[in-house]
Structure 1
Amino acid sequence: MSVPASVQAVAEPGRPSTWNPTRLFRAVAIAEAVTWAGLLAGMFLKYVTETTEVGVRVFGMLHGVVFIAYVVTTLVVWADRKWTAGRGLLALVASVPPLMTLPLEWHAVRRGWLGDTWRLPAGAGSSLPDRVVAWLLRNPLRGVGVGLVAVMALTGLALLVGPPTS
């Protein structure tokens, strides 16, 4: 079975790839901000104009899923780029206030926190996060599958727990 070049490149350490840490983090950070904007617009329509709840229903669920994807992506990039605890926590906290993933992503690019290549799998360390992320990057199709399952499972758990306010 042939692996597409864009996916295959992720598994080759030291080589720039289509889905490198910068592109992946940027895509998910933008998606998180866009869904936040949609949710805010939906909340305006629901609570200010009192015209419809559709925006909150649609963008609430969509934002929840993308928020979880952002958290999962941040954890993968954190492990791969060997971020400090402060840097990783800052990236996670940026997902809570509306639209803050955008300035965080811009800052991360300017400061060189991301990169055009994956450090792992070639330099896999002995820590559990390094080994897990190295496996995900060596097996990109399975890695995407594991990521999707993680997002679905965490979304399901969030739905069971319920909304932040009742």
Structure 2
Amino acid sequence: MTALATRPLTLEVNGKRHDLRLDTRTTLLDALREHAFLPGTKKGCDQGQCGACTVHVDGERVLSCLTLAAQAEGRQIKTIEGLQTGDAVMHVVQTAFIEHDAFQCGYCTPGQIMSAVACIREGHANSDDEIREYMSGNICRCGAYPHIVAAVRDAAGRVKKGAVL
């Protein structure tokens, strides 16, 4: 039996440094959940098809189940736990999701919110059709899609009025 190939790895997650020693095949999702102890990012399909594992790496949304942890070394990683800005209790998108009942069971919600933030930041929240298109990589098994679209539209409007994204 051979030993697993491990290597030291430093991840910058939500502004905090995590010095880890990981199997070289460890996904970013597993590194976040099992080694950095940040359980907010969810493991859904583990095949990049559901979006539950969406996080931001250098400001871009990525599917953490398809990204090796080593690929994120030296880059800025943001998870749902680090979304809050400044003194705000919740991020503007989190607030909109609550106000529009944009979740039911809540399992997909972290990935939905991280995708919604990116959708707004990328300038793809100008219409309901555009929101649906750019959020289409995130699956909600409960079917809260109309509420999710309304929440993204509302949060985008708040950002246009000066809310911090």
TM-score, normalised via structure 2 length: 0.27
With CA pairs under 8 Å and 6+ residues apart, which has the higher RCO, 1 or 2? Answer: 1
Give the structure with the higher percent strand: 2
Is the helix fraction higher in 1 or 2? 1
Bigger Rg, which one: 1
